[in-house]
């Protein structure tokens, strides 16, 4: 990071927190160092994610603990799930669309409001990293389909077959009875959305998924849509979603939750209100699942979900949020 940029970013912190050691830790090559002289913001770094992806938050925590940025933490954290072929809803091994093609959606957002996304990306195992490249190396926010894939190759990503034998066999079975109709929220869950705050108090977020299983070809859910599946405003906090993307898009769910926090709600209250807004639009349909997690600038977190039949629970109680408060918060 250029020194000027570092100083500019520092100015967003409370004045009293910009200490001499903070600047001293940035040497001429702008390499940050760890150690007791490091910046003291009073912020405890933390990473949280949807569902029970402990390996993902463990990885994110490793990055944060070494003094890394929240952006690196969320990218590297969700990559763990993208690489896990046993997770059939994210990355390689994800369930295909109804034509048998694995198409991936992902987005990422940093502390400065920069963001990048890929939609319906095929043959690339780490869509989150392509999304980051879109954010950092292009003037655009979203790249879709063939264009996104071409961009990924230009950036050095390898072509990979993402359809595993297991996912192919299941899809073949599904085709026998499905009449090619995707069934919302039955085959699919476990998108990973992750939020992290680093030692500088900066928040970033990432969200990545193979989307709804056996979806119509070309279908895109909320996960790569900034404001729907993920939103971060580093002045306030961040939120991310999992569940039936169509419902989250309709209410611009993650943006809504951040705005509710801006109005003074805690992350927990904001998540609950976000879920209630969706319910209010679904008087006759209770057969789906939606969950939000959120984090504010103090590092406070919240989570809430509805299950089919509209049973409500704090998301973490449902086992659907990996808030590693015991093992991964720096004390």
User: Which sequence positions are flagged as catalytic?
Assistant: 191
- Which residues between 48 and 77 bind ligand SD4 (CB under 6 A)? none
- Rounded to a whole number of angstroms, the minimum distance from the CB of residue 104 to ligand SD4 is 10
For position 189 contacting ligand SD4 by CB under 6 A, the verdict is yes
Looking at the Cβ atoms of 243 and 299, the one nearer to ligand SD4 is: 243
CA separation, residue 268 to residues 44, 47, 188, 324 (Å): 18, 16, 25, 16
Looking at the Cβ atoms of 245 and 274, the one nearer to ligand SD4 is: 245
**What are φ and ψ of residue 174, in 5° steps?**
-55, -40
Looking at the Cβ atoms of 234 and 242, the one nearer to ligand SD4 is: 242
| Terminal Cα-to-Cα distance of the chain (whole angstroms) | 27
Count of other CB atoms within 10 angstroms of residue 28:
6
- Rounded to a whole number of angstroms, the minimum distance from the CB of residue 212 to ligand SD4 is 5
For position 87 contacting ligand SD4 by CB under 6 A, the verdict is no
Q: Rounded CA gap, 275 and 253, in Å?
A: 8
Count of other CB atoms within 10 angstroms of residue 178:
14
For position 293 contacting ligand SD4 by CB under 6 A, the verdict is no
Nearest residue to 145 via CA among 38, 224, 57:
224
For position 208 contacting ligand SD4 by CB under 6 A, the verdict is no
In the beta sheet, which residues pair with residue 238? 232, 295
For position 221 contacting ligand SD4 by CB under 6 A, the verdict is yes
For position 191 contacting ligand SD4 by CB under 6 A, the verdict is yes
- Which residues between 98 and 117 bind ligand SD4 (CB under 6 A)? none
- Which residues between 122 and 141 bind ligand SD4 (CB under 6 A)? none
What is the contact mask toward ligand SD4 in residues 222 to 241, using x (rule: CB under 6 A)? xx------------------
- Which residues between 239 and 268 bind ligand SD4 (CB under 6 A)? 242-245
- Which residues between 7 and 46 bind ligand SD4 (CB under 6 A)? none
Question: Within 13 Å, how many C-alpha atoms sit on residue 39's CB side?
Answer: 27
- Rounded to a whole number of angstroms, the minimum distance from the CB of residue 175 to ligand SD4 is 20
- Tokens for 107, please give them: 């987005």
For position 182 contacting ligand SD4 by CB under 6 A, the verdict is no
- Rounded to a whole number of angstroms, the minimum distance from the CB of residue 184 to ligand SD4 is 9
Q: Which stretch binds ligand SD4 (CB under 6 A): 11-19, 57-65, 182-190, 252-260?
A: 182-190
- Contact residues for ligand SD4, defined by CB under 6 A: 188-191, 209, 211-212, 221-223, 242-245
């Amino acid at each position: 990071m250029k020194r000027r940029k570092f100083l500019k970013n520092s100015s967003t912190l409370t004045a009293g927190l910009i200490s001499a050691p903070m600047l001293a830790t940035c040497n001429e090559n702008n390499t940050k160092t760890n150690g007791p002289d490091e910046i003291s913001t009073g912020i405890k770094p933390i990473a949280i994610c949807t569902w029970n992806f402990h390996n993902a938050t463990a990885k994110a925590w490793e990055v944060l603990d070494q003094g890394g940025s929240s952006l690196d933490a969320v990218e590297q954290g969700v990559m763990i799930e993208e690489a896990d072929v046993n997770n059939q809803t994210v990355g390689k091994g994800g369930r295909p669309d109804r034509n048998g093609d694995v198409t991936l959606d992902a987005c990422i957002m940093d502390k400065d409001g920069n963001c990048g996304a890929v939609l319906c990306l095929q043959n690339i195992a780490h869509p989150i990293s392509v999304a980051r490249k879109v954010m950092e190396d292009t003037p655009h926010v979203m790249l879709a389909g063939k264009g996104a894939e071409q961009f990924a190759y230009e950036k050095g990503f390898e072509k990979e077959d993402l359809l595993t034998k297991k996912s192919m066999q299941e899809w073949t079975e599904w085709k026998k009875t499905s009449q090619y109709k995707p069934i919302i929220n039955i085959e699919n869950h476990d998108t990973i959305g992750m939020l992290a705050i680093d030692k500088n108090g900066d928040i970033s977020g990432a969200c990545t998924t193979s989307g709804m299983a056996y979806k119509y070809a070309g279908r895109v859910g909320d996960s790569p849509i900034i404001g729907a599946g993920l939103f971060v405003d580093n002045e306030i906090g961040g939120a991310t979603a999992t569940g039936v993307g169509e419902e989250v898009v309709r209410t611009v769910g993650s943006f809504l939750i951040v705005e509710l926090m801006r109005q003074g709600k805690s992350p927990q209250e904001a998540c609950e209100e976000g879920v209630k807004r969706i319910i209010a639009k679904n008087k006759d349909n209770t057969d789906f699942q939606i969950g939000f997690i959120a984090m504010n600038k103090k590092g406070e977190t919240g989570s809430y979900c509805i299950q089919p039949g509209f049973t409500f629970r704090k998301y973490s109680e449902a086992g659907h949020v990996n808030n590693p408060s015991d093992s991964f918060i720096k004390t």
